Amino acid sequence: MSILLRKPGHRLLRVPRSAVSAAGQISLPNRGSLHRPCTPHLQARIAYHATAALRSPSSAAGSLQPDGAGVVPGPAAPSAPAPYSPPQTGLLSMLPPSWVPYAELIRLDKPTGTYYLFFPCLFSTLMAAPMAVPMASPLSAAGYSLLFFSGALVMRGAGCTINDLWDRNLDPHVARTRLRPIARGAITPFRGVVFTGAQLLAGLAILLQFPTACLYYAVPSLLFVASYPLAKRVTYYPQFVLGLTFSWGAMMGFPALGVDLLSNQAALTAASLLYTSNIAWTVLYDMIYAHMDIKDDAKAGIKSIALKHDADTKKVLTGLAVVQIGLLAGAGMAAGAGPAFFIGSCGGALVTLGIMIKRVNLKSVKDCWWWFVNGCWITGGVISLGLGADYAIRYLDEGKGKKEEA
């Protein structure tokens, strides 16, 4: 068998395959099977392409494909995307194989979204606790916080399932999402709908553990849960719709602890400002998240704030951080918070967000993911600590006041 090589502007060269060793060494006469003298330069070029043909017939280096008795130059074949591989480590690897697609669907192995959904609930619980009459006990605040976390886990999974049902024809075209269970066919759309219904029922069961008033505040959020995936198709600001959804918990802590938002003007103001502050935070971190898919989103026709403001992303992030912290401070003032909140929560958020915005490399998928995951705990953590410290101080002060009165 021979190897035929053709370079633009040159004649066809026939090189015996036996003349090329596996190590890339070539041994040819100056004349004979070649149509012109084999100069050292020509011999080196032949060796390069012939070796590539031996090692990888479809590689870009040789770009050679079989044609009858020989091998002729052909277009480079695109590298095939990696196929799906079942998880070999971590939590999902411990589950029965039939459960794995459903665990992947709710992102059980990627809990950051659950934490982002939970933090607004925790913020509102800690802010509402000192406003309750009588002041909510730490045990009560902790108990409702655990219920909120359970609800966040279930409802985040439901939101992911609804999102993947909407995006089942888009996800296969995005590198990061092409192997999601519905996109790769591991779960049919019908089963996805049934699974969504089961998750919503589980969420309702958790919701019924709260005071009845919480039911009236929680149900409207389902509209935003269902509409977010649609927003990606019609506006460059779907992150705003996501913010309306993920921040809903910023109001739920108040009715959970018996604080009536309709009759308590201070509580209503605090809850409203806390809610809008969390919307700004959601848009901020999801804008960083959206930069991971910015190229694929552009090709697939998916809209995002990252695409709209790619050149000015850090300016937008800075503006969002200022809005978030300003609204957070306003919520604290309405709730009668003390220095621990303003120093810990507001000051801490100012520092952590500033560091993140300065350091994040928006052109690096790995760096965007790191800040998305860790920024959740860093910023959410300092805000929670500030709120918790303020609550603890006010709770202890109230206890001292009662003892003095006695």
Cβ contact 151:203 at 8 Å: yes
Q: What is the pLDDT of residue 231?
A: 81
**Would you say 47 and 20 are in contact if contact means Cβ atoms under 8 Å apart?**
yes
Question: Around Cβ 76, how many Cβ atoms within 10 Å?
Answer: 13
Q: By the 8 A CB rule, do 2 and 15 touch?
A: yes
Task: Quote the tokens at residue 84.
Answer: 């799906």
pLDDT digit string, tens, across residues 267-279: 999 999 999 999 9
Return contacts of 130-135, CB within 8 angstroms, 24+ apart. Answer: 130/335, 130/336, 130/390, 130/391, 130/394, 130/395, 131/254, 131/259, 131/264, 131/266, 131/267, 131/270, 131/335, 131/336, 132/257, 132/258, 132/259, 133/258, 135/394, 135/395, 135/398
Average pLDDT, the chain: 83
Q: What is the dihedral of CA 137, 142, 143, 146, to 10 degrees?
A: 160
**Is the Cβ–Cβ distance between 4 and 70 less than 8 Å?**
yes
Residue 65: is its pLDDT beyond 50?
A: no
E strand or H helix that includes residue 299: helix 294-300
Mean pLDDT, residues 324-331:
98
The whole-number pLDDT of residue 8 equals: 45
Residue 206: pLDDT above 70? yes
pLDDT for 138 equals 96
Q: Of 67-76, 87-96, 344-353, which range is least confident?
A: 67-76
Whether residue 298 has pLDDT greater than 80 = no
Chain centre to alpha carbon of residue 10: 52
Closest CA to 388 of 141, 55, 68, 203: 141
CA atoms of 214 and 257, how far apart (whole Å): 10
| Dist. CA 78–CA 51, nearest whole Å | 20
Confidence of residue 219 (pLDDT cuts 50, 70, 90): confident
Q: Which amino acid is at 91?
A: L
Predicted confidence band at 186 (pLDDT cuts at 50, 70, 90)? very high
**How high is the pLDDT of residue 33?**
42
Q: Is the pLDDT of residue 59 over 50?
A: no
Q: How many CB atoms lie within 10 A of CB 212?
A: 8
Three-state DSSP state, 61: coil
Check pLDDT > 70 for residue 52. Answer: no
The pLDDT-based confidence of 76 (bands split at 50, 70, 90) is low
pLDDT score at 34? 43
Q: 145 and 121 in contact (C-beta within 8 Å)? A: yes
Q: Would you say how long the chain is, in residues?
A: 406
CA 54 to chain CA mean position, Å:
43
Kindly indicate whether the domain formed by 97-259+272-399 is annotated with CATH number 1.10.1740.10.
Answer: no
Tell me what pLDDT residue 45 has.
53
What pLDDT, on a 0 to 100 scale, did the predictor assign at position 397?
87
If DSSP codes are grouped into helix, strand and coil, which group holds residue 98? coil
Asked if pLDDT for residue 234 goes beyond 60, the answer is yes
Evaluate whether 211 touches 219 at the Cβ level (below 8 Å): no
Q: How far apart are the first and last CA of the chain?
A: 104
The pTM for the full model equals: 0.76
More confident residue, 64 or 187: 187
- Asked if residue 230 has pLDDT above 70, the reply is yes
Rounded average pLDDT over 22-45 = 48
The values of phi and psi at residue 78, to 5°, are: -65, 140
87-140 per-position pLDDT tens digit: 988 899 999 999 999 999 999 999 999 999 999 999 999 999 999 999 999 999
Predicted pLDDT of residue 173? 83
What percent of the chain is modeled with pLDDT above 70?
78
The pLDDT score that the predictor gives to residue 36 is 45
For residues 29-51, average pLDDT: 49
> Which of 202, 204, 214, 283 shows the shortest CA–CA distance to 247?
283
Quote the pLDDT of residue 23.
Answer: 45
pLDDT at 4 over 90: no
Quote the tokens at residue 127: 């802010």
Residue 72 has pLDDT above 50, yes or no: no
The pLDDT assigned to 193 comes to: 96
Query: And the tokens for 121?
Result: 């609930």
Mean pLDDT of 181-208: 95
Query: Taking a C-beta distance cutoff of 8 angstroms, is the pair 184, 178 a contact?
Result: yes
Q: Residue ranges per domain, the chain? A: 2-73, 97-259+272-399
pLDDT at 353: 97
Q: What local confidence, expressed as pLDDT, does residue 222 receive?
A: 83
- Position 68 scores a pLDDT of 42
Q: What is the pLDDT of residue 207?
A: 95
**Average pLDDT of the residues in 167-177:** 85
Cβ distance 126 to 345 under 8 Å? no
Q: Which pLDDT value is given to residue 81? A: 74
